[in-house]
Structure 1
Amino acid sequence: MGEVTQMHFTTLDYVVFAILLVVSTGVGLFYALSGGRQRTTQEFLLADRSMSCFPVALSLLTTFQSAVAILGTPSEVYYHGTQYWFLGCSYFLGLLIPAHIFIPIFYRLRLSSAYEYLELRFNKTVRICGTVTFIFQMVIYMGVVLYAPALAINAVTGLDLWGAVLATGLICTLYTTLGGLKAVIWTDVIQALIMLAGQVAVIVVGTLQAGGIAEVWSRAQNGSRISGLDLNPDPLERHTFWTLGVGGIFLMLSLYGVNQAQVQRYLSSRTEKEAIMSCYAVFPFQQIVLALGCLMGLVMYARYGEDSPLDQGFVKTNDQLVVYFVMDVLRDLPGLPGLFVACLFSAALSTISSAFNSLATVTMEDLIKPHFPAMKESRATLISKGLAVGFGLVCLAMAYIASLMGSLLQAAFSIFGMVGGPLLGLFCLGMFFPCANPVGAVIGLIAGLTMAFWIGIGSFVSSLSTTDPGPNVNMTTAPTMTFVTSGSRPTGVQALYSLSYMWYSAHNSATVVLVGLLVSLLTGRMKGKIIKPGTVFPVLGILRDCYKKIFNPFTNLENKRLSP
């Protein structure tokens, strides 16, 4: 395969990209110099709990709508068709459950860190275990999120790789440190609009060049890229309605239910109702973003057909495919390629800034404050800002490590998903099972993480030994990845390694719950009087109330009929 074909930026493209960085910095400076000037941890870490529904909703959307998804979703649809669109079915319960279960519990307890809940429900040991697990998860992921889009853009456009990485990382660190969570949320809003504009520009121009939307759809149908409803229940099948629509629910819960980056946004809302409404508002935005990614994939297919730029040797990996397509489509429209690159880096900035802020929060609230309860507010705020800077530098270091990882880059994405499932299981164990005790929680978490890494790493190693992943790699939506292996249906341990990545969260969280319950029953179930009020969701009480509402009218009617 030859060298990657490069298409260079114009001056206007660089100007558009630079404007994004300047605006992001300006937002940070504004909130550093206005309001309370980020002098308290409540303002710096939780925006004084003063945010309204709309900005919180857009921030929730962009936090995990990373450049990986923008690069990955069109490539997925280009190679495998629109089956991936059925992931949108998981958004309904994936957002409804957090809105009515997780948010009310977290908000009413007036938490600063999601892992503070684990101490209230179990004990300090469980809280520290949850915090350390989350820190490991985010530190690994944020370096890759910064490096991956920069690498793809560098390969296709010649934009200086480390210049882009350093500029993005430092700007992100600067506005997060100066402006706190308010700056992070409002830059997320701006970045969400840029992401939308960049994707729409590429789709509109590409569709016009292909001859219109009818022609795009016709070519996609002729190329078998318009997928029907696949109801195959086999969990080893990579993408079916069940893996996407049901397995995706657990993936969404791990992202929007218990992840600190998202919980922190709920807690920054003015009221519990606004926090819940922000979760509802994410739903249509998520559907729009998913539809745009799928549509871009169809437009790519209409342009290239089966003869992809990867097959022709114009790019070396499928994550460079979207950038090549953008530069190819927009080559005669100066400024628009820069807009799309700004779109990619907006996604990266929103994810990384959320990571910095959430990591600073859990480190301060879970690991430092409990040991220094008398710490002055001004000192705590200064340390929180220092932590944000520190994690910014760690992010740059992780980006450098990611550059050395080669084929292990995919494994780093899997780590995010492998860790998210066990954390979800830990919170579900506490919220839904009053009998679960601290010993069961810790051992359940360890069992879930062990199972997650066993399957994830086993799947990765197995795929390398059986086939070249090539275009079968999934880089979409979530930070999880898996590979498709060829040949007959796997059996035994190999079948476990071939489990669809969309079931990872469900499988690993279920492991935590089952092991946690078993250990709790063996070591002595938690007594009701010991459990702090408000930390357990009353499932049985709600079911009993629903039963009464449904059947009482019929019972009363029957009693009246039988009464003399």
Structure 2
Amino acid sequence: MDTLDIVVFLIYIVGIAIFGSTFFKKTKTSSSYTLGNKDIPQWVITMSIFATFVSSISYLALPGNAFQSNWNAFVFSLSLPIASLIASRFFVPLYRKVNSPSAYTFMEQRFGTWARIYVSFCYLLTQLMRIGTILYLLGLTLNAIAGWDITTIIVLTGLVVAVYSMLGGISAVLWTDAIQGIILIVGAIVCLGFILFSMPEGPFQMFEIAMDNRKFGLGSFELDLSKPTFWVVLIYGIVVNLQNYGVDQNYVQRYMASKTDKDAKRSALMGGLLYVPISALFLFIGTALFAYYESVATLPTELQGANMGDRVFPYFIVNVLPSGMSGLLIASIFAAGMSTISTSFNSSATVFLTDYYNKYYKKTATNEQRMRVLYIASSVISIIGILIAIAMINVKSALDAWWKLASIFSGGMLGLFLLAIFSRHKNTVGAILGVISGLAVILWLSLSNILLGPNALGNQFHTYLTIVFGTGIIFLVGFLISLCGKENNTK
């Protein structure tokens, strides 16, 4: 990194931190800290939902996947319109009616205290793994570009985000997300344009090379559940994105921060749809990088092995992009990651306050006590996330690692939400047995290879299907027992 790149990057980091901190005066109460003051424009919430979904996982790992293989990961994006439409139609009105800062109050209303604890605990575990993965990728990027120590980068980045998200609350998170979303889109477009017009025979040469190497393929269409085929990724995407847009506190908090029900529905729908073309843009960058290194330059030997796709884009940024543009791309990558991390800090602290502290420790806490809990919870979560990121330094493929970890730690919580919404009967025993059955399936699919070896029955299914089967089992078992049980009180 030369002086201009460092200046551009530091201007972004310092500017975002200062801007986010300016909202401190608007977050004097726990309500304004977690839900804002109902004065956030719809476009800001829409961009915030988009920026929350996009992270350094998308910005680095999607180009890495496209460079290494094809556009199979885009199938995941194709499921988003389905998930965001269902969320805006069913989930958003539900949460606005319940009117709670926590997405998981509804679970207690339907099935009791245990359900609220289960889904909120699953959420917190998932967020910790998400924070760790994103911080790791940010550290990996700056390490490849500037040679700085990955651990130092992870720690400093985590602390910077923690400070401005704590000072400014949800208002700071939403506004900085919106700005970061714009920055990351501009950075990606500029980078792709540079690659295309750097091809010796012009932009169309990239398409020729990509077509010759089948880089635009969406994966195999065969009915093989042991591989990441088109159908496996599509089903996985529908379930995961329904979980994101339907039951994830990160998104529910944005629905609740919207001025009106109509604004909340629009933001949920448009925030999801915006990701589809942007994810295609990220994949396009990976494909263009493949064509570039096939025709213009050669990657060093250490980047030519398998599972090195995550490192190609950072290498290109530092070695090929002109001065100043490299700084913009680094800022874009950090924008993608920091927006998601700040969201996780604020939402996780909100869950801890609402679902644990207020519920079981001090129901009549003063505003000062609630604010203190929010600050402490955010601090603890940031520290744990940083430690997880440091532990992930040796993971080879960040995208695959995140998808696998998300399947395990989310615990099929979507199944319980679907049961609560679509079942006409309130059967607590059925719901509990459904969760136990779903968790048993998740653990079996996750651990069968370790316990029984590669020929175990669970290894016949791809890891992406773990959350699919877990969700399905929870819903089906709970629904069937509810139909047959005696506790058939309707909603």
TM-score > 0.5, shorter chain as reference: yes
Equivalent positions of 1:136-155 (< 5 A) are 136-155=125-144
Out of 485, 494, 501, the residue aligned to residue 459 of structure 2 is 494
TM-score (norm 1): 0.80
- TM-superposed CA distance for 1:460, in Å, is 8.2
User: Equivalents in 2 of 1:197, 1:307: separation in Å?
Assistant: 24
In the alignment, which residue of structure 2 is the partner of 1:294?
283
- TM-superposed CA distance for 1:523, in Å, is 5.1
Q: Is the 8 A contact 1:202 1:329 kept in 2?
A: no
Q: Could you tell me which amino acid in structure 2 is paired with residue 20 of structure 1?
A: Y
1:198 aligns with 2:190: no
In the alignment, which residue of structure 2 is the partner of 1:17?
9
- TM-superposed CA distance for 1:461, in Å, is 8.9
- TM-superposed CA distance for 1:169, in Å, is 0.8
- TM-superposed CA distance for 1:412, in Å, is 5.8
- Once the two structures are overlaid, the 10-residue window that deviates more, 148-157 or 266-275, is 148-157
Equivalent positions of 1:112-151 (< 5 A) are 112-151=101-140
User: Equivalents in 2 of 1:129, 1:244: separation in Å?
Assistant: 27
- Once the two structures are overlaid, the 10-residue window that deviates more, 243-252 or 408-417, is 408-417
Q: CA RMSD in A?
A: 2.7
In the alignment, which residue of structure 2 is the partner of 1:261?
250
Deviations 1:133-187 (A, max 9, x none): 2112212221221123312431453133233222211110111110000000111
TM-score (norm 2): 0.91
User: Equivalents in 2 of 1:306, 1:526: separation in Å?
Assistant: 67
1:178 aligns with 2:140: no
Q: Could you tell me which amino acid in structure 2 is paired with residue 431 of structure 1?
A: I
In the alignment, which residue of structure 2 is the partner of 1:505?
467
1:38 aligns with 2:27: yes
In the alignment, which residue of structure 2 is the partner of 1:6?
none
Q: Is the 8 A contact 1:315 1:324 kept in 2?
A: no
Out of 213, 221, 230, the residue aligned to residue 211 of structure 2 is 221
User: Equivalents in 2 of 1:96, 1:70: separation in Å?
Assistant: 24
Find the residue that maps to 1:305 and give its secondary structure: helix
Q: Could you tell me which amino acid in structure 2 is paired with residue 448 of structure 1?
A: G
In the alignment, which residue of structure 2 is the partner of 1:169?
158
- TM-superposed CA distance for 1:199, in Å, is 1.2
Q: Is the 8 A contact 2:83 2:242 kept in 1?
A: yes
Find the residue that maps to 1:209 and give its secondary structure: coil
The 1:360/1:239 distance shift into structure 2, 3 A limit, reads same
The 1:504/1:412 distance shift into structure 2, 3 A limit, reads same
In the alignment, which residue of structure 2 is the partner of 1:93?
82
Deviations 1:203-233 (A, max 9, x none): 1111111143211111111222232785433
User: Equivalents in 2 of 1:360, 1:26: separation in Å?
Assistant: 21
- TM-superposed CA distance for 1:359, in Å, is 0.7
- TM-superposed CA distance for 1:307, in Å, is 11
In the alignment, which residue of structure 2 is the partner of 1:445?
435
- TM-superposed CA distance for 1:309, in Å, is 6.6
User: Equivalents in 1 of 2:385, 2:224: separation in Å?
Assistant: 38
Q: Is the 8 A contact 1:223 1:305 kept in 2?
A: no
Find the residue that maps to 2:79 and give its secondary structure: helix
The 1:125/1:500 distance shift into structure 2, 3 A limit, reads closer
- Once the two structures are overlaid, the 10-residue window that deviates more, 159-168 or 17-26, is 159-168
User: Equivalents in 1 of 2:457, 2:113: separation in Å?
Assistant: 39
Q: Could you tell me which amino acid in structure 2 is paired with residue 215 of structure 1?
A: Q
User: Equivalents in 2 of 1:244, 1:163: separation in Å?
Assistant: 35
In the alignment, which residue of structure 1 is the partner of 2:489?
527
User: Equivalents in 1 of 2:257, 2:20: separation in Å?
Assistant: 17
In the alignment, which residue of structure 2 is the partner of 1:232?
222
Q: Is the 8 A contact 1:443 1:516 kept in 2?
A: yes
- TM-superposed CA distance for 1:378, in Å, is 2.8
- TM-superposed CA distance for 1:58, in Å, is 1.1
Q: Is the 8 A contact 2:293 2:299 kept in 1?
A: no
User: Equivalents in 2 of 1:126, 1:326: separation in Å?
Assistant: 47
Gaps of 5+ in 2: none
Out of 300, 319, 324, the residue aligned to residue 315 of structure 2 is 324
Q: Is the 8 A contact 1:87 1:248 kept in 2?
A: yes
The 1:178/1:507 distance shift into structure 2, 3 A limit, reads same
Out of 34, 50, 58, the residue aligned to residue 61 of structure 1 is 50
Gaps of 5+ in 1: 1-8, 467-489, 532-564
Q: Is the 8 A contact 1:360 1:388 kept in 2?
A: yes
User: Equivalents in 2 of 1:49, 1:461: separation in Å?
Assistant: 51
The 1:461/1:344 distance shift into structure 2, 3 A limit, reads farther
- Once the two structures are overlaid, the 10-residue window that deviates more, 351-360 or 229-238, is 229-238
In the alignment, which residue of structure 2 is the partner of 1:398?
388
Q: Could you tell me which amino acid in structure 2 is paired with residue 95 of structure 1?
A: S
The 1:449/1:24 distance shift into structure 2, 3 A limit, reads farther
The 1:413/1:500 distance shift into structure 2, 3 A limit, reads closer
Q: Is the 8 A contact 2:448 2:456 kept in 1?
A: no
- Once the two structures are overlaid, the 10-residue window that deviates more, 440-449 or 66-75, is 440-449
Out of 423, 426, 429, the residue aligned to residue 413 of structure 2 is 423
Equivalent positions of 1:73-92 (< 5 A) are 73-92=62-81
Q: Could you tell me which amino acid in structure 2 is paired with residue 336 of structure 1?
A: M
Q: Is the 8 A contact 2:21 2:164 kept in 1?
A: yes
Q: Is the 8 A contact 1:71 1:319 kept in 2?
A: yes
- TM-superposed CA distance for 1:408, in Å, is 10
Q: Is the 8 A contact 1:419 1:449 kept in 2?
A: no
1:514 aligns with 2:479: no
- TM-superposed CA distance for 1:82, in Å, is 2.9
- Once the two structures are overlaid, the 10-residue window that deviates more, 187-196 or 431-440, is 431-440
Out of 348, 356, 378, the residue aligned to residue 337 of structure 2 is 348
Equivalent positions of 1:263-278 (< 5 A) are 263-278=252-267
Number of residue pairs matched? 486
User: Equivalents in 2 of 1:341, 1:87: separation in Å?
Assistant: 25
Deviations 1:396-420 (A, max 9, x none): 22223334x6569765652223333
The 1:196/1:91 distance shift into structure 2, 3 A limit, reads same
Deviations 1:228-266 (A, max 9, x none): 7854333333131x3344442112101111111111111
- TM-superposed CA distance for 1:373, in Å, is 1.7
- TM-superposed CA distance for 1:101, in Å, is 0.4
Deviations 1:291-320 (A, max 9, x none): 211210221121123999778324673211
